[in-house]
Each structure stands twice: as structure tokens, then as C-alpha cells.
Chains A and B, each alone.
Chain A
């Protein structure tokens, strides 16, 4: 199973996007600043935007899905329950998992932004597609929900998960680290070695660890804490 970006190029005026990369099974994290092209690349990977040049090659991939940055963009159901059903999922299971059972009859857009994000992410992840592209999945979630999402991502096995995010504090354990730099997709390599190459845009706890000569096992804050506690005895 492999998703390849073969000479992908896209231009919008003076802004240019370039990506040559291959994504295998595992969890990939793509970091990058606002406007760096993360959402555009996510849309290209999901096949919703065609690049000006190059192609997206999917080998051994039967299905793919995309979680959009703004959850309102997903809504098609008139109620929370209908929204879950529109994904072809067991409503009781998803509503139980998200804790939104008491709000099943509410219009999805009457939920708070965080609740709606939680609902749409639960539907995307429960759909069990082989490729799952998540555009800013942590935005709008509270700390407990971010932690729950990290746990859920860790339980996902066998497929290709690609997370585009600028989250700085509550992060999942990942396999490969990428970064958008000046419109170009750059691979820092496998974690943990990649953490040393992340540089100035890395989350503060990663920079804190690297500056003290520590290499945490992964990018979660608890990995840094463990490395710090081990070092300090």
C-alpha cells in the first residue's frame, strides 16, 4: 500500500506548491505554518483538487477519506443522528463513543464547534478507509478530546494516516515527520531521529528537549517528560 505524489506542482499567482513524496503504512505528521499549503496538499491527496502538473498515484489502496479543517463543510444531515447515518455508520456506537447521545436530535450546526469536530472525526475514523487524510484534526478540540484523538489514532492499524496540523502541545505518536517549507513538502524522516531535524518550527517541548541534548522516543509531551525525568534521575 503506497500513496505517491509524483512531481505534484500547483500555482496560485505568486504562490507555488511542490511535492515529491511517497507515503507508506503508518502515521505521518505534516507540520507547517499558516498558508504553507497544508490544506491544499490534503485536498490534492484526497483527489478533490487536480494539480497543475504531476499526479497522485495510489497503489494497493481501495479507499481513501479526508477530514476537512472546518467540520461544517462535512454536514449533510438535519440532525446529529442523521449526520452519523449519512456516513453509513452505526449511530448508537458513534453517539456512545462521542458522548453526543443526548444531543442526537439536535441540528449538527447547533453543536459547539468542538462537539461538531468531535462528531465528524469520529465518523471519519470509524469509516475505516485505508487512507485517512486529516486536515487540522486537533483544532477546536478541548484538551480531553485531543488526548482521546491521539489514543484513537494510535489504535488505527494497517492503513496510511496523514495528519496535517500546526498543533503545538497535545500530539500523537507518529512514524514519519514531514514539513511544508516555502511551499515544498520536505521529509524529515522517521521519528525519533526526525525530531532533531525539525528545527525552529518544532513544538516548544520538542525544542526544549533537543536544546538539552535529549531525544525523546516520540513527539508526545509525555515522551519528552519521560526523557527529562530519566535524564534528571
Chain B
């Protein structure tokens, strides 16, 4: 469980919130605090007031994988192979083990053809997939995907989330503007102006949002027909 207690951080104001294990979709308008919340849960930011605990530990003591909204921020190495292998360079995995894990994660994400490419020459969507592979290769306790599907087509986004769910990190937190994607999560957290607008199952949260544009558009279509 991820527990946020007495959080005041920039525009975020969350008296208390407990996020269940599993897949959590964080939704809300631009500037509502989604990325700030994810940064707190990932230990990238420390709250100005209050605390965040992941299974009773500090976020910074947990292995965290982060796929950011702007994929260039994730990429540090010139070659895709080196980029994906980079987190393992700081562990005791030998070269053969690194090569094997790189090959397996690339196979899962169907990005093996990119391995020898230069990261700078990738499309935005390809960069997001490489960032995901780099995040997943360390088997993170918390995997955060910050709206990376903004830069993926429907098939690539589907592949990204399927792969992330298949690896089954205890906590998968993701932001998205695709409400159908959010509806596939175990729980949905809706933020409005830095506050919790709703938290619960997708059916419950979207029922509460049915008069807003956050309601999944195809659900409305089906209702009409």
C-alpha cells in the first residue's frame, strides 16, 4: 500500500490517502497535480509537509522505475542497447546476464530491431518504449508511467501497458489522458486542483464523472446506440 499522510506540496493538498497494491490510473486536467503526485510516490520529490510510505518504507529506499512524459529526459546513452542495460551496470549482474535480460525485455516489448540504433534517432514513441524497457529491467517495486502514452499510437501504447502489467510490479502508477486506458486499471484516482476528487474502482469513479469530458467517450457512444 502507498500511504500519503498530511501532504502539502506545491498545489497538492491530500490530508490522507491509501493507494491499494496493483494498477492505479491517475487522471485529471492539465496542471491538477498528477505528475507532482507521481514524483512524490517515486521519491523524486520530498513533500514540503507530510509523508509518503510505500509498504511502510520511504520511497527512496525502494526500487522505482520511471517512464516520464518527455522521453528525452529518460535517455542518457548514445546506443539503445547501452541505455537499456544501464541500470544493471550498477549491480552485480555479469555481462552475459545483462545481455540476456536486455534481449528478453526487448523481445517482450517488440523493440529488438532498435537495439543497435542511436537513441537520438528514435521517434518519440520509440523513445518511450526504450525508457519503459530501461525501467523494467531492474524489476521495480514501483513502476511509474507519467503519460508516456501521449506519444504512442494505440498499438504501441497497448503493448507498453500489457508489458508493464505482465511484469506485475507490486505498484504500477500511471497518468494518462486516455480514459479507456484508465478504465483498465484496478483503481482510478481523479485529481482536481491538487485535491482528491475521487478514488475507487473505474466504474465508481467514472460514474461520478459521467457528466464531464473525463467519461470514456466510447462508453457514451455505446450508451447512445
Interface residues of A, Cβ cutoff 8 Å to B:
12, 32-35, 39, 69-70, 72, 111-115, 117-118, 136, 139-147, 166, 168-170, 201, 203-205, 208, 221, 224-225, 228-229, 232
Report chain A residues within 8 Å CB of B31: 111-112, 114-115
A-side contacts of B213, CB under 8 Å? 143-144, 147, 170
From residue B112, how far is it (CB to closest CB) to chain A in Å? 14
Q: Report the nearest A residue to B10, measured CB to CB.
A: A110
- 3 A-B pairs with least C-beta separation: A114-B30, A34-B125, A143-B213
The stretch of B18-26, B80-88, B217-225 in contact with A is B217-225
Count how many chain B residues have C-beta atoms less than 8 Å from C-beta atoms of the other chain. Answer: 36
Closest residue to B36 on the A side, CB-wise?
A: A112
**Distance in Å from the Cβ of A6 to the closest Cβ of chain B?**
25
Question: A141 with B30: in contact, given A33-B153, A34-B153, A136-B124 (CB under 8 Å)?
Answer: yes
Q: Would B151 and A136 count as touching, CB distance under 8 A?
A: yes
Shortest CB distance B163–A (Å): 15
**B187-225 near A? 1/0 per residue, CB < 8 Å:** 000000000000000000000000011100110110011
Q: Which of B125-171 contact A (CB under 8 A)?
A: 125-126, 147, 150-156
Neighbour of B221 across the interface among A139, A142, A147, A205, CB < 8 A: A205
* A-B contacts besides A143-B214, A166-B154, 5 pairs, CB < 8 Å: A111-B31, A140-B177, A142-B28, A143-B212, A143-B213
The verdict on B121 contacting chain A, using a C-beta distance below 8 Å, is: yes
By beta carbon, the residue of chain A nearest B113 is: A14
Return chain B residues, CB-CB under 8 Å to A118: 30
B148 to chain A, nearest CB (A): 10
Interface status of B57 (Cβ within 8 A of chain A) = no
22 CB < 8 A contacts A-B? A33-B153, A34-B152, A35-B123, A70-B72, A111-B31, A113-B69, A113-B70, A114-B29, A114-B177, A118-B30, A142-B29, A144-B213, A145-B30, A166-B153, A166-B154, A168-B154, A208-B221, A221-B221, A224-B221, A225-B220, A232-B224, A232-B225
Q: Once the chains are docked, how many angstroms separate the CA of A70 from the CA of B31?
A: 17
Closest to A34 in B: B125
Q: Taking the nearest CB of chain B, how far is it from the CB of A134, in angstroms? A: 14
- B119 within 8 Å of A (CB atoms): no
Contact of A169 among B122, B155, B217 (CB under 8 A): B217
Chain B residues within 8 Å of A147, by CB: 213
Q: How many angstroms from the CA of A117 to the CA of B218 in the assembled complex? A: 25
User: Which A residues touch B69, using CB under 8 A?
Assistant: 113, 140
Q: Which of B126, B154, B155 has the most CB of A within 10 A?
A: B154
A140 touches B221 (CB 8 A): no
Chain A residues near B221 (CB-CB < 8 A): 205, 208, 221, 224-225, 228
* Pairwise interchain contact A142-B217, C-beta atoms closer than 8 A: no
List, in ascending order, chain A residues with CB within 8 A of B179's CB: 143, 169
| Contacting residues, chain A, for B123 (C-beta < 8 A) | 34-35, 39
Q: Give the residue name and chain of the B residue nearest to A38 (CB).
A: B123
Assess whether A170 is in contact with B151, with CB atoms less than 8 Å apart: no
Q: Which of B26-41 contact A (CB under 8 A)?
A: 28-31, 34-35
Q: Point out the residue from A33, A70, A142, A232 that lies within 8 Å of B177, measured CB to CB.
A: A142
A169 to B178, CA, bound (A): 8
Asked if B217 contacts A221 (CB within 8 A), the reply is: yes
B124:A39 contact, CB within 8 angstroms: yes
Q: Of residues B121, B122, B155, B221, which shows the largest number of chain A Cβ atoms within 10 Å of its Cβ?
A: B221
Q: Which residues of A contact B150 (CB under 8 A)?
A: 113, 136, 139-140
State in angstroms the CA–CA spacing of A168 and B180 once bound together: 11
Whether A205 lies near B217 (C-beta < 8 A) is yes
Q: Which residues of B contact A225 (CB under 8 A)?
A: 220-221, 224
Give CA–CA (A86, B122) in the complex, Å.
Answer: 30
CB contact under 8 A between A228 and B124, given known A33-B155, A70-B72: no
